[in-house]
Amino acid sequence: NKSLNLRKFELSDMQWDIVDDLLYVLEIFKNATMLFSKDTVSTISQVIPMMDIIDDFFGSTPKRDVHPAVRSALELAQSTLNRYYSRTDDSNVYQIAMILHPKLKLEYFRNCGWEKEWIDTA
């Protein structure tokens, strides 16, 4: 309807490219949200593995192929994730839950190359 003058709100091709970049990046957060939204299973043992998955995603996302604003947001998100990741050491709950998990145990830490001293402490 021309009387509403909505054309001024139409996205440009560049803006649609940014939307595509955002959809790609936000998919990992959707997956994490869906995992941790389950109320029928304990997910505390999945916190560190999911943080590792997200961190790997940030590191493997071809930053040259995304819009500079999205690239900047990715860098900030990775910095924030790393800050929270380091805080998992403040509580043994995460490590204990992983060690008690039948599929994870200490193998997860070994497979990820964690230091032997840290694994022994866990």
Expressed as residue numbers, the domain containing 99 is 12-121
Count structural domains, the chain.
1
Q: Is residue 104 part of a domain?
A: yes
Q: Please compute, for residue 92, the number of CA atoms within 13 A of its CA located in the half-sphere on the CB side.
A: 7
Instruction: Write down the pLDDT at residue 63.
Output: 66
Comparing 62 with 117, which gets the higher pLDDT? 117
Angle 68-87/13-36 helices, nearest 10 degrees?
20
Q: Residue 3 falls within a domain, yes or no?
A: no
Identify whether 117 is part of a domain: yes
Q: Which pTM value belongs to this model? A: 0.80
Give residue 27's pLDDT band: very low, low, confident or very high (50, 70, 90): very high
Query: For residue 105, what pLDDT is reported?
Result: 84
Residues 6+ positions from 25 with CB-CB distance below 8 Å = 61, 66, 70, 73, 74
Q: Token digits for 120?
A: 């022994």
pLDDT of residue 1: 55
Say if residue 121's pLDDT is above 90.
no
Q: Is residue 4 part of a domain?
A: no
Q: What share of the chain is helix, strand, coil (3-state, %, to 5)?
A: 75, 0, 25
Burial, 76: exposed, middle or buried (Cβ in 10 Å; 0-12, 13-18, 19+)? exposed
pLDDT for 33 beyond 80:
yes
- Does residue 94 lie within any of the structural domains? yes
* CA gap 119, 5 in Å, rounded: 63
Residue 31 covered by a domain:
yes
* Predicted confidence band of residue 2 (pLDDT cuts 50, 70, 90): low
Asked if the structure places residue 5 within a domain, the reply is no
Mean per-residue pLDDT over the chain, rounded: 88
- For residue 65, the model assigns a pLDDT of 84
Q: Is residue 7 part of a domain?
A: no
